[in-house]
């Protein structure tokens, strides 16, 4: 694995890109979650619509990129297939043309653009800006600097695929539940979509600006 040189280039916190991590196997869901028709459209389209007002530069990371070509967005195959979400984050950071990048799962229809903007605004100077809800990190709704590539590689070489494994080696800014509540109920953003029945709760969906 090769890395670009590390170090901040003093870009504005708003000058960042976004990567939708869409490489999950969806075993529990029973079919491809990203293309599941939710309210008449593939789920990933709701994610794109919510992210775009906050971060217009969006790309997709997945093993199978062909199914996403119709979206007209850049698509990147996982550099090392089969690593799970941390492999998608790593691929996004290697392909990022900005110092920091927002990484988000493809199965989150309740995203809130204002919360994403807030995270972008507070991310400068930190390697990871990540929400904490119920005492747990939400690493697939987080901003990462390109400095994270080296520690990610280090832990992958050890066989550790847990995203948060390297957090103690980088500068971290947590986003508290009180901060999140200023924009949206955290339960609406971070609910799990593991089964098709989880998609039936339309009250928890918010893609408004």
Query: Range of 114's domain?
Result: 17-192
The verdict on residue 72 lying in a domain is yes
The verdict on residue 140 lying in a domain is yes
pTM: 0.83
The verdict on residue 155 lying in a domain is yes
Domain count across the chain: 1
The verdict on residue 32 lying in a domain is yes
Better pLDDT: 24 or 77: 77
Among 129-133, 175-179, 200-204, whose mean pLDDT is lowest?
A: 200-204
pLDDT category at 179 given cuts 50, 70, 90 is very high
Q: What is the pLDDT of residue 203?
A: 39
The verdict on residue 39 lying in a domain is yes
The verdict on residue 208 lying in a domain is no
pLDDT category at 25 given cuts 50, 70, 90 is low
Q: What is the pLDDT of residue 101?
A: 98
Better pLDDT: 183 or 35: 183
Phi/psi for 73 (5° steps) reads -110, 155
Whole-angstrom CA distances from 103 to 28, 30, 61, 82, 195 are 22, 24, 10, 18, 22
Is the pLDDT at 29 greater than 90? The verdict is no
pLDDT category at 9 given cuts 50, 70, 90 is very low
> What average pLDDT is seen over the chain?
83
188: domain CATH number is 3.90.550.10
The verdict on residue 3 lying in a domain is no
The verdict on residue 128 lying in a domain is yes
């Amino acid at each position: 694995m090769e890395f670009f040189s590390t170090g901040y280039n003093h870009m504005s916190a708003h000058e960042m890109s976004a990567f939708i991590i869409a490489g999950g196997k969806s075993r529990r869901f029973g079919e491809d979650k990203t293309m599941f028709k939710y309210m008449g459209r593939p789920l990933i389209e709701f994610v794109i619509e919510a992210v775009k007002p906050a971060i217009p530069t969006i790309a997709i990371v997945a093993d199978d990129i062909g199914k996403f070509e119709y979206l007209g967005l850049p698509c990147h195959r996982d550099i090392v297939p089969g690593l799970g979400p941390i492999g998608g984050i790593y691929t996004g950071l290697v392909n990022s043309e900005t110092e920091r990048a927002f990484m988000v799962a493809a199965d989150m229809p309740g995203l809130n653009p204002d919360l994403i903007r807030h995270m972008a605004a507070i991310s400068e100077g930190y390697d990871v800006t990540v929400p904490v809800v119920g005492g747990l990190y939400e690493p697939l709704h987080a901003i990462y600097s390109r400095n994270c590539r080296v520690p990610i590689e280090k832990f992958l070489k050890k066989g550790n695929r847990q995203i948060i494994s390297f957090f103690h080696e980088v500068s971290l800014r947590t986003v508290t539940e009180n901060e999140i509540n200023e924009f949206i109920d955290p339960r609406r953003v971070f609910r799990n979509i593991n089964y098709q029945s989880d998609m039936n709760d339309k009250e928890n969906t918010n893609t408004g600006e």
